Amino acid sequence: MSDKVAMEKIVSLCKRRGFVFPSSEIYGGLASCWDYGPMGVELKRNIKDAWWKAMVQERNDVIGIDTSIMMHPGVWKASGHIDNFTDPLVECKSCHLRWRADEIASDKPRTCTKCGGELTEPRMFNLMFKTFMGPVEEEASTIYLRPETAQGMFVNFENATTTSRKRLPLGIAQIGKSFRNEITPGNFIFRTREFEHMELEYFVKPGTDEAWFDYWVKERFNWYLKLGIAKENLRLRQHGKDELAHYAKDCYDIECLFPMGWSELEGIANRSDYDLTQHAKHSGKDLRYYDAESGERYVPYVIEPSAGVDRSLLAFLIDAYHEEMVEEETRVVLRLHPSLAPMKVAVLPLSRNEKLTPLAKEVYRQLCPNFMTCYDDSQSIGRRYRRQDEIGTPFCVTIDFQSLEDNQVTIRERDSLAQIRVPIKELEQTLQAKLKGERFDATALWATRQKSQ
């Protein structure tokens, strides 16, 4: 289970199998920056697609948007980020190491853990990255890289509601990069300074906000369950009153059991009418919504489920990682939900033999328009199966000498290790059915994991 998987194993698998590499590695890397390799990019896309499908495609009450990373500086003044988006920073007076003051245990002497030096008093440090727009580096041209995508939805509230001709309750969803100059990034891709957000701003009539808040907490929790994360590795935690952000009326974190312990995976906040009220005040635009049914005008309340793509990816990897004994060897297998698996099918000729290659390539060509498919004919078939297990490929299709005679191939299943023989002309249909099939609902996935413990 995930609480037994050391982060080093995940980092090593990610490097070995092309999920995640240190950024600028040939220059020694750049602290807390990571690049997604060929498998990582597919997994990331699949996570974003699953989110978009559940949050936009399958709902008539949510529309999508894609706003710019650089926004008018007035946005950040109105949102409170310029004044409040800060963490308390302390620094060692002798070795200059820095920490978030709130991460240092209050019952310990406040000295540097590295050199024992004296620490400075905490000072507030703004987490937004600053840069300059245009050729002149002066105060007036200062702009910020967005620390969240949410403000793009608030400032487009009017555009989005009028052009979509939809009534409240209405959500605006966005996936995109955010930047935070975190004081202490770390734990691999858990906390980085550049990451991707998946955020929904769901606008509702005041008074209905608490019911919608409960709805979204449940909805988001179930999203992770449906994608296979084991129930015992997820929990909800309500924020205490002293912990709530300045705009929030209520907030729950969905927490996941990461190798370093229970930590936030996603936050769901009731942001009240704070954001639209602030933007109306600072922009001078009336952002009230006209409710045609009741004839009222009001500032909507906003429920915000805010998730991180990179942190979800880490959670899915940790949860999927399993080691088990097969034929007296340790098999590392990623039991990823098939919709998330980077590759759905691997086509593997039994050996690199001139008689087998043409048929194997033909099978590959048939499958790749419909599934992310890889072709591998190097090394022994056993080692190739292990490689596919490590990247979580649900199905391997093996072409052997018998295939040349009977036009049948073997499908080997990642989880059960069962092998079935099917005619090549039925292969695509069989794989489609298996990928969509019942056996891959989360309950079945958990059952196979349990058996393999």
**Lookup result for tokens 């008074």:** 207
Q: Which of 2, 126, 272, 306 binds ligand ATP (CB under 6 A)?
A: 306
Of the candidate spans 39-47, 99-107, 188-196, 402-410, the one that interacts with ligand ATP by CB under 6 A turns out to be 188-196
Q: Does 307 bind ligand ATP (CB under 6 A)?
A: yes
β-strands 345-349, 395-399 pairing: parallel
Region near ligand ATP per CB under 6 A, out of 96-104, 118-126, 260-268, 375-383? 260-268
Residue ranges in 116-135 that form contacts with ligand ATP under rule CB under 6 A: none
Out of 17, 44, 197, 271, the only residue in the binding site for ligand ATP (CB under 6 A) is 197
Contact status: 264 vs ligand ATP (CB under 6 A):
yes
- Which residue from 355, 376, 354 is spatially nearest to 364, judged by alpha carbons? 376
Q: Pick from 40, 228, 259, 308: which binds ligand ATP (CB under 6 A)?
A: 308
Instruction: Using the minimum distance from each CB to ligand ATP, give the nearer residue, 273 or 310.
Output: 310
**Which residue, 265 or 346, has its beta carbon nearer to ligand ATP?**
265
How far is it, in rounded angstroms, from Cα 356 to Cα 181?
A: 54
CB nearer ligand ATP, residue 265 or residue 348 = 265
Residues from 135 through 164 that contact ligand ATP (CB under 6 A): 148
Q: Which of 180, 279, 337, 384 binds ligand ATP (CB under 6 A)?
A: 180
- Is residue 305 close enough to count as binding ligand ATP by CB under 6 A? no
Point out the residue whose Cβ comes nearest to ligand ATP. 308
- The yes or no reply on residue 339 touching ligand ATP (CB under 6 A) is no
Check residue 216 for interaction with ligand ATP (CB under 6 A): no
How many of the chain's residues bind ligand ATP (CB under 6 A)?
16
User: Residue 152 CB, nearest distance to ligand ATP (Å)?
Assistant: 14
> What are the backbone dihedrals phi and psi of residue 138, each rounded to the nearest 5 degrees, phi first?
-135, 165
- By CB under 6 A, is residue 266 in contact with ligand ATP? yes
Closest CB 54 distance from ligand ATP, rounded Å: 16
CA 382, distance to chain mean position in Å, is 32
CB-wise, 34 or 212, nearer to ligand ATP? 34
Specify the pairing of strand 170-179 against strand 62-64: parallel
Closest distance to ligand ATP from the beta carbon of 20 (Å): 13
Query: What minimum distance in Å lies between the beta carbon of 178 and ligand ATP?
Result: 7
3-state secondary structure 408-426: EEEEEECCCCCEEEEEHHH
CA-nearest of 345, 344, 387, 343 to 363 is: 345
Cα gap 230→315, rounded to integer Å:
11
Phi and psi of 79, rounded to 5°? -70, -20
Under the binding rule (CB under 6 A), the answer on residue 195 touching ligand ATP is yes
| For ligand ATP, the closer CB: 51 or 289 | 51
Polymer length of the chain: 453
Residue 197 CB, nearest approach to ligand ATP (Å):
6
Q: How far is the CB of 183 from ligand ATP (least distance, A)?
A: 10
The residues that touch ligand ATP, with contacts defined as CB under 6 A, are 148, 180, 182, 191-192, 195, 197, 264-267, 306-308, 310-311
